[in-house]
Structure 1
Amino acid sequence: MPTRFLLTLPLWMAFLACAAAAPRSEYKAPRAEYKIVTASKTGTYIQIGRDLAALVAEPAGIGLEVLESKGSAENVQRMRFEPGVKLALVQSDVYQAFLDEAKAGNTDADNIIRPLRLIMPLYDEEIYFIARADSPLNSIHEIKNKVIAVGPLGSGTALTSRTLYQLMFGEALSSANTQYLTNEEALAKLTVDKSIDVAIIVAGQPAKLFSDMKAEARNYIKILRLDDAAPETARAKKTYFPAAIRATSYATWLKSDVPTLTVKAYLVTYDYGLQSTVGNLGRFAESLCTNFDNLQANGHPKWKQVRLELPALGQGWRYYAPMEKRMRACIARRSAVAASAAAQAALPPPRACTEQEVVLGICRR
């Protein structure tokens, strides 16, 4: 046997002995680093994303980077194809539009939407129809044939705007009357050069874009109202739901509540099968459930409108099974604890001891 081998053999044996003796608990899996796509920096989605990062992902041992985007339509694409993006915020009408396109035979839409899954429904996003303060327009159904800013290409706002217009007026919004602008660009075009008549913005209230405005804002813009008596409103309600933009959300410049329409927001992921990803997203789901009260107490005000539940879904919509299982189990535990607390609270107070029972030692005060 070579001398060199005889000299190194004891060293290898010592190394293997140490490795075998090392406690397994010393090994720690690397922290998962994921991304979530939201919307513009002045919208509500990005604040919801930050809440999920700080109050849900962090307690679960997951780093979650919050990314800006043009909105829901782009989010669907990035959720499907961009490396590292594991979560997305998506409007219900955008998700349904992809499903409808896939059902109609569009292979690109089918390739994009088929492997996506829902985590849970979130809240309703208000749809703002903004006009100049001196505009003759007062109601939403009066926007026909007006020049309208509908949000950037690839945004959920753009799809919502076009879908609503088609529903209300039975015809598509013409390209000549359509401008694809960011929220900030739209407000500038509306109030400065006055090249558009209406800006449509989708954002959950209170939205930073509007809450940062000063009292003087009412001198430049106004929010068009939903008129329940208009036949266009009845047609819009087939897909969208009535709500109100509250004056308390924008107390510095809005004097009274404004009736409008809403669209539902969803938290979306992909149908992952890799064991490590399944495990990480399972922990995220558990954390979302257990920290839900913290989200409602310390997150964006919209969290107070979210219900911790997984309702039945329409055709083509599916929950991500590993997260659904963890969520349903956690929701059931929370319900059992709440029911037990309620039952305990309903019990009659204990009967007071009589003096004779105390003397006899059969009842203690």
Structure 2
Amino acid sequence: MRRLIGAAVAAVLIACGFAAHAEESEFDPAKVSDSLKAIFQFGSVQTKQALNANTVTLITGTIGGTYVQFGADLASLLDDGNSLRVLPIVGRGSVQSVADILFLQGVDLGVVRADTLDYLERKGFAKDIKKQFTYVTKLYNEEMQVIAPRAVRNLRDLEGRRVSVDLPNGGTFVTALTVFERLGLRANFLYIEQRIAMEKLKRGELDAVIVVGGKPYKSVSNFVNDGRFHLVNVDYDRPLQNDYLPATLTAKDYPNLIAEGEKVDTIAVPAVLAAYNWAPNTDRYRKLATFVDAFFTKFPAFQNPPFHPKWKEVSLSAPLAGWQRLPAASKWLETHAMEGAQRDRFDDFLKQSSAGKALPTEADREALFKQYQAWEAEKTGSARAQARPQR
């Protein structure tokens, strides 16, 4: 009987692995349903362990934001049965995500804004907080979008005015407060959820709504403009240039708020895929390393439809000042940079010899390349040993 149950569970896990693929397959949907029934009938401690072993939990952002869409993209492309499952969670924004990565059980990764940790330290909420974090990669730049009546031409026009900066556990208020402080401006900041704030703006109960997020940001795109409102220019003044980047918004991004042929200057702040700084010998670190290998290997696919257009801005190797990169991510980048150079040398060798013509399939070429890597590693090791000074 125990063997029967074990076999059933094994079959379930294999079947669920096939079912989890985002890609099309010829797997019979009815069999998937049968496998799920078997999980509930024969589920055991082993089933629980198998389902949790390689599940990576990612805290994202609020509904409708770019963080949520990135989380969905990662799950869609990286889910690989029991080898890896990415489980995105709707979050509350950058500040809450920092707390969740540090303290919420089971959260492995999160998307946070680059200026959030500096803000928390500057305001005395935390000390040396960056030492507790690592980053997998810098993601994309998040633009500041300021919706206001047409009479408001720049941020200085909002001095003393009623400005909504989203909820206080997000990241928009961090960037907004930091920018206004750097420019020496004081506004009457109100913490109101974006959709509600935009309705208040239409009724004249607010003077501006600030949204910081990757363009095109859903709530800004969905803003129904009767012609009274526009996006305000944010000048790239010197006090902002240490921590922020210049950016531009066009009618292609927001045809509801920018006229064709016009543009709006603004600033942007990087979004970061961050993780807790786990020790390398822990199971949590192992799961992060598994995620990194799958993510970085499949990364080129993210830069094509149907995935979010902001993926095209991501460069895996881009440095992030003041942050330490997850060692598994650094190792992957170093290894594959070396492998790329090795492959170039290998391809040149094949072109100049008759060996390349004798390899009929790609599999044969890969097998020979692995042998070439082993030979080059042995050769390099011998050379280093000979060069080592005698004691």
TM class by smaller structure: 0.7 to 0.9
| d(CA) in 2 for partners of 1:100, 1:332 | 40
- Structure 1 residue 142, shift from structure 2 partner: 2.2
Conserved? CA contact 1:139–1:226, under 8 Å = yes
CA–CA separation in structure 2 for the residues paired with 1:225 and 1:288: 36
Maintained 8 Å contact 2:108/2:284: no
Q: Is the 8 A contact 1:167 1:236 kept in 2?
A: yes
The CA distance in 1 between the partners of 2:348 and 2:193, in whole Å, is 52
Residues 169-216 of structure 1: per-residue CA shift (max 9 Å, x gap): 2x5x46xx1210111121111112x11111110110111223335xx5
Instruction: Give a deviation string over 1:237-282, Cα, whole Å, max 9, x none.
Output: 3432211012212345532321111011110001223533222211
Counting only pairs closer than 5 Å after superposition, residues 127-146 of structure 1 correspond to structure 2 as 127-132=144-149, 135-146=150-161
Instruction: Tell me, yes or no, if structure 1 residue 122 matches structure 2 residue 139.
Output: yes
Contact residue 123 and residue 305 of structure 1 kept, 8 A = yes
Distance 1:60 1:221, change over 3 A: farther
- Alignment partner of 1:267 is 2:273: yes
Which residue of the other structure, out of 237, 241, 259, is the alignment partner of 1:237?
A: 241
Deviation at 1:111, TM superposition (A): 7.6
Deviation (angstroms), 1:322: 2.7
Post-superposition offset of 1:113: 4.6
- With over 3 angstroms needed to count, the CA separation of the structure-2 counterparts of 1:136 and 1:114, relative to structure 1, is same
User: Are the equivalent residues in 2 in contact too, given 1:296–1:303 (CA < 8 A)?
Assistant: yes
**In structure 1, which of residues 283, 295, 302 is the aligned counterpart of residue 302 of structure 2?**
295
Distance in 2 separating the partners of 1:342 and 1:311: 30
CA displacement at 1:325 relative to structure 2: 1.6
Partner of 1:30: 50
Describe the superposition over 1:4-48 as per-residue Cα deviations: whole angstroms up to 9, x where unpaired. Answer: xxxxxxxxxxx9xxxxxxxxxx99971423321121111111111
Question: What corresponds to 1:44 in structure 2?
Answer: 66
Give the aligned partner of residue 369 of structure 2.
Answer: none
Matches within 5 A, 1:183-332: 183-192=194-203, 194-213=204-223, 217=225, 219-227=227-235, 233-251=237-255, 254-255=258-259, 256-273=262-279, 275-298=282-305, 299-311=307-319, 313-314=321-322, 317-332=323-338
Query: CA 1:195–1:340 in structure 2 vs 1: closer, same or farther (change >3 Å)?
Result: farther
Compared CA separation, residues 161 and 209, structure 1 to 2 (3 A):
same
- Look up the equivalent residue of 2:294 and give its one-letter code: S
Could you tell me which amino acid in structure 1 is paired with residue 72 of structure 2?
R
The residue correspondences of 1:335-346 to structure 2 (distance < 5 A) are none
Q: Does 1:79 align with 2:83?
A: no
- Residue equivalent to 2:78: 56
Given that 1:43 and 1:207 are in contact with CA atoms closer than 8 Å, whether structure 2 keeps it comes out as yes
Secondary structure of residue in 2 paired with 1:123: strand
1:220: Cα distance to partner?
Answer: 4.1
Distance 1:320 1:253, change over 3 A: same
What corresponds to 2:166 in structure 1? 151
Q: Is the 8 A contact 2:78 2:85 kept in 1?
A: no
Q: Name the larger-Rg structure.
A: 1
Q: Is the 8 A contact 2:230 2:257 kept in 1?
A: no
TM-superposed deviation, 1:340: 6.5
Q: Residue 58 of structure 2 contacts residue 86 of structure 2 at CA under 8 Å; is this kept in 1?
A: yes
Q: State the alpha-carbon separation in 2 of the partners of residues 322 and 296 from structure 1.
A: 22
Unmatched 5+ residue regions in structure 2? 4-13, 15-45, 353-391
1:326-360 deviation digits (Å, cap 9, x = unpaired): 243234435665x579989x99xxxxxxxxxxxxx
The CA deviation at 1:154 is: 1.4
Figure out how many residues of one structure are paired with residues of the other and give that number.
301
Deviation at 1:50, TM superposition (A): 1.2
Taking only aligned residues, the RMSD between alpha carbons, in angstroms, comes to: 3.0
1: CA distance, partners of 2:221 / 2:200: 20
Structure-2 change in CA distance of 1:181 and 1:331 (3 Å): farther
Within 2, Cα distance between the matches of 1:43 and 1:110? 29
| AA aligned opposite 1:72 | S
Give unpaired runs (5+ residues) of structure 1.
Answer: 1-14, 16-25, 348-365
Does 1 or 2 have the higher relative contact order (CA < 8 Å, sep 6+)? 1
Instruction: Provide the rounded CA distance (Å) in 1 between the counterparts of 2:113 and 2:341.
Output: 28
- Partners of 2:193 and 2:179 lie apart in 1 by 19
| 2:115 aligned residue | 93
